[in-house]
Amino acid sequence: MAKKHSEMKVVHKPAAVHSPSLLQRWFIGRPLPTADAPHQAIGKRVGLAVFASDALSSTAYATQEILVILAAAGTAAFGYSIPISMAIVALLAIVTISYEQTIHAYPDGGGAYIVSRDNLGTLPAQVAGAALLSDYILTVSVSVSAGVAQILSAFPGMSHYRVVLAVSLVMFIMLINLRGVKESGFIFAIPTYFFLGMIFLTVGLGMARYLTGGLSTVVDPPALEMVGVSGVTLFLLLHAFSSGTTALTGVEAISNGITAFKEPRSRNAGKTLIAMSLILGTLFLSITFLAHQVGAIPSEGETVISQLARTILGGRSWVYLLMIASTTLILVMAANTAFADFPRLSALQASDRYLPRQMTFKGSRLVFSWGIVTLAMIASLIIILFQARVTALIPLYAIGVFLSFTLSQSGMAHRWYKIGRLGVDEELQEKGSRLQYDRNWRWKMVVNGFGAICTAVVVVIFAATKFSEGAWLVLILIPTLVMVFYTIHRHYANLADALSLAKLQMPNTIHNRGVILPISGVHRGTLKGLQYARTISQNITAIYVSMDEDSDRKVVQRWNEWGAGAPLVVIDSPYREWMYPLVDYIEQATAKNKEGDVLTVVVPEFVPNRWWHHFLHMQNATWLRWALRHVRGVVVVDVPYQVRC
C-alpha cells in the first residue's frame, strides 16, 4: 500500500509556446489555443459545404451507375432508371426523417457508433464503427476518382495521369483539413455553392427546353458496352437500385458532426440535413429524367453529366467547361465529408480504447491530425490499387454506410422503447445522452424501426447483387476490422491492469547493482558517458564487442589510458555481430538480480548538429536502447554528446 503524505503544494506554470516553422505556418497555419475551440464552430451555410458535399456530389455519378447496370439489357431498359430513382428518393426521405430524430436525441453527436453503443451494445457499435470507417475511406477514393473522371471527360489526353491526379488531390484535401474545420469549411463552401449554381442552371435550362420541346439528344454519344444479358430481370433491377443508392452516402455525416455546428447545434444540424436532402432528391430525380430524355450512354470515356451538359449548354462551350469544372470540384471536395467525420469517429473509438490513442490527439489547429493523415494514406493506397476507376470502386461502396444506417435506426428504435418504459418525471443518464419520457415515443419508434427495416433490405440487396463484383471484400473487411478493434481493446485493458495501483506492493528500496557502459571506441563521448556513470555508481563495467584484433588492441590501449581504472570486458564476435552479444551479456547480468535490484546501462551517444548527418552513421545507440527496453531489471540512460561539425 502507498504511504499517505501531507498535502503537497501544486504549482501551475504556463507552457512555453513553440514557434512553428515558416513551412508549417504556410501550409497548416498558426497554432490555435484550446480556448479557441468554441470559435471554430460553423453555421448552417458552411455546414452544408462541410458535411453535405459527399451526398450532393453523388448526383454526379449515381445516375450513371444505374445506367451502367441497365445497359446490360440494352438502351430500352434505360426507362427503368426513372422509377428506380423515385424509389431511391423515397428511401432518402425515410432515412432523413430517421436521422433528424437522431440529431435531436443526441445533441452531442449521435452517429451510428454512439447510438449503437448506448442502445445495442459493444459488438454492434464496433460493427457500425468498422462499417463507417471503411465507408469514409471509400468515400474519399470514389469521390476523388469520380472528379478525375470529369477532368478526363473534358481532356481525354490526360488519361495516363489518372492515378497521379487522384492521389495529388487527396494530398491537397488533407492539407486543407489540417488547417482546421472552420478554415477548410470556408474554403470548400466556394466550390460547393459554385456546383449548386451550375447544376441548377443546367437542370433548369434542360427542364425548360424539355417543356418547350427544344431538348435535343446527345451528339456523338459514346458506344454502348453490352455484356450480353437478355431482357430485364428482377435481379437486374435490384442490381441497378443498389448501385443508385450510392446517392444516399453522406446522409449520416451531419449526425456525426453535430458538435461542429454553432449553438443551437441540434437545430442548425437538423435544418442543414433537411436542406441537403431536399436539394439531393431534386437534383437526383432531375438528372435521371433528363439523362433519359437526351439519350445519355454510360461510359468510362465520357460521364453522363458531361453528355447532359454539352447537350443542354450547346456543346463544349465555356459554360460547359464551367459546369465540368464545378462538378469536378464538388466531387473532389466531397472527400471533405469523410475528412470531417473519419477523424471524429476514430477519436470516439480511440477514447473507448478500440483504436490507437493517437487518434484522440488534436493537432495545432484543433483537428484530429492523426485521423486526417491516416485517412489520406489509406485512401491513396486504394486509389492506386484500383487505378482510380469509379466503376471498379463502386461495388465496395455504400454497403458499409447502409449497414451503419440499419444499426443506427435499430438503436434509435430501441432507445424510444426504453423511453416508453420510463415514468413521466423519470430520467436515465447514459454515456452518450439523457433519456426522458416522451409521449410521442411510439410514433418515433415506428419511424426509426421502419427506417431500420428499409435500410436492412437495401443491405441484403446490395450484398446479393454486388457480391461477385467485390462486395464480398467488404463483407470480409468489416468482421476483420471488428476483430482488430477487440484486439486493440484487449491490449489496453491488459495494460491498464498491469499499470493499476490497486493491490500494489512496493519494494522498500530499489538497489542499483552497478553500471554497464557499452562502448564502440574510446573518444570524448565515451568519457562523458563514463563521467556520468560515476555519479550513479562506482561499480562500473565497460563492454566492448570486438570485430577484429587491430581495433581490439587500440580500444584496450586507450581504455587503459583514459578508463580511470574501470574494468573493461571485451566480447569476441567472430561472426561480426554487435547487438546480440551485447544484449546477451546484459541479460546474463540481470539474471543475478534479486527483488528490487536494477542494473543501469549508460549508453553514450554522439549527436551531430545537422539532421542529415544521422544517415551517415549506424545509429547503434538507438538500436541498443530499443533492444534493452524489453529486458527486465534494466534501466537505460542515454548520455548525448553534441558534436559541432
What is the maximum span of the chain, computed from C-alpha positions, in angstroms?
Answer: 104
Helices (H), 106-121: 112-119
Contact 83, 68 (CB under 8 A): no
What does the angle CA 164 – CA 170 – CA 171 come to, to the nearest 5 degrees? 90
Write down the pLDDT at residue 387.
Answer: 82
Specify the pLDDT at position 127. Answer: 94
Whole-number Å distance between alpha carbons of 445 and 105: 12
Average pLDDT estimate for 246-258 = 80
Are 211 and 289 within 8 A, CB to CB? no
Residue 522 clears pLDDT 80, i.e. is over it? yes
Listed ranges 80-94, 312-326, 570-584; the one with the highest mean pLDDT: 80-94
pLDDT of residue 56: 84
User: CA-CA distance, 166 to 141, in Å (whole number)?
Assistant: 8
Write out the three cell numbers for 506: 512496493
CATH number for the segment(s) 42-410+442-469: 1.20.1740.10
Residues 501 and 1 sit within 8 Å (Cβ to Cβ): no
Q: What is the DSSP string of 353-376?
A: TSS-GGGG---TTSS-HHHHHHHH
* pLDDT above 90 as % of the chain: 25
pLDDT of residue 533: 93
pLDDT in tens, 278-305: 999 999 999 999 999 998 888 877 888 9
| pLDDT band for position 148 (cuts 50, 70, 90) | confident
Report whether pLDDT(361) > 90: no
pLDDT at 298: 86
Report d(CA 41, CA 508) in Å as an integer. 53
Q: Output the pLDDT for position 479.
A: 92
* Residue whose C-alpha is closest to residue 173's, from 54, 277, 67, 11: 54
Give the integer Cα–Cα distance in Å for 381 and 377.
6
pLDDT value of position 26 = 58
When pLDDT is averaged across residues 341-358 and rounded to a whole number, the result is 90
Consecutive H or E run containing 598: strand 597-608
390 and 150 in contact (C-beta within 8 Å)?
no
Average pLDDT score, the chain? 83
Check residue 366 and give its pLDDT.
65
Span 300-314, mean pLDDT?
Answer: 87
So what's the pLDDT on residue 356? Answer: 92
- Sign of the Cα torsion 520, 523, 528, 534 reads positive
26-30, 335-339, 425-429: lowest mean pLDDT where?
26-30
Confidence tier at 18 by pLDDT (50, 70, 90): low
Q: Among 5-14, 374-383, 617-626, 628-637, which is the least confidently predicted range?
A: 5-14
Q: CA angle at residue 357 from 354 to 359, to 5 degrees? A: 95
The verdict on domain 511-643 having CATH code 3.40.50.620 is yes
Report the number of secondary-structure helices (H) and strands (E) in the chain.
23, 7
Q: What is the pLDDT of residue 291?
A: 92
Residue 65 · residue 71 · CB < 8 Å: no
Q: Worst-scoring range by mean pLDDT, 44-53, 208-217, 539-548, 551-560?
A: 44-53
Q: Which of 197-201, 221-225, 451-455 tops mean pLDDT?
A: 197-201
Q: Is there a cis peptide before residue 356, judged by omega within 30 degrees of 0?
A: no
pLDDT over 70 at 183, yes or no: no
For the segment 604-626, the average pLDDT, to the nearest whole number, is 79
Instruction: For residues 81 and 442, give the distance between their C-alpha atoms in angstroms, rounded to a whole number.
Output: 36
Is residue 109 pLDDT above 90, yes or no? no
Model confidence band, residue 19 (pLDDT cutoffs 50, 70, 90):
low
Cα angle, residue 137 at apex, residues 275 and 380 outer, rounded to 5°:
125
Lowest mean pLDDT across 165-174, 373-382, 457-466, 562-571: 457-466
Would the pLDDT of 262 be above 70? Answer: yes
Strand order in the sheet with 511-519: 568-572, 540-546, 511-519, 597-608, 634-643
> Average pLDDT for residues 459-485, to the nearest whole number?
84
User: Pairing relation of β-strands 434-436 and 427-429?
Assistant: antiparallel
pLDDT for 645 equals 64
Does the pLDDT at position 224 exceed 90?
no
Pairing relation of β-strands 540-546 and 597-608? Answer: unpaired
pTM, whole model, 2 decimals? 0.76
Predicted local confidence at residue 185, as pLDDT: 65
For residue 429, the cross-strand partners are: 434
The residue ranking higher by pLDDT, 391 or 385, is 385
pLDDT at res. 4: 53
Copy the grid coordinates of residue 218: 446527345
Q: What is the pLDDT of residues 188-222, one digit of tens each?
A: 688 888 999 999 999 999 999 999 988 888 888 88
Among 438-442, 498-502, 504-508, 617-621, the least confident range: 504-508
Residue 175 CA to its chain's centroid (Å): 14
Per-residue pLDDT for 383 more than 80?
A: yes
Cell of 234: 428482377
Q: Is the pLDDT of residue 608 over 70?
A: yes
Comparing CA positions, the residue from 248, 252, 280 lying closest to residue 103 is 252
Residue 33 confidence class, pLDDT cut points 50, 70, 90 = low
Mean pLDDT for the stretch of residues 315-319: 85
Kindly tell me the burial class for residue 320, based on how many C-beta atoms sit within 10 Å of its own C-beta (0-12, 13-18, 19 or more).
buried
Q: For residue 181, name the pLDDT band (cuts at 50, 70, 90).
A: low
Domain spans of the chain, in order of start: 42-410+442-469, 511-643
309/559 Cα distance (integer angstroms): 82
Residue 5 pLDDT: 53
* Residue 13: predicted pLDDT: 63
The C-alpha atoms of residue 278 and residue 215 are separated, in whole angstroms, by: 25
Looking at per-residue confidence, does 64 or 44 come out higher?
Answer: 64
Confidence of residue 364 (pLDDT cuts 50, 70, 90): low
Q: How confident is the model at residue 532 (pLDDT cuts 50, 70, 90)?
A: very high
Please tell me what DSSP assigns to residue 593.
-
Mean pLDDT of 365-394: 84
pLDDT > 60? residue 230 = no
Three-class SS state of 499: helix
Identical fold at 42-410+442-469 and 511-643? no
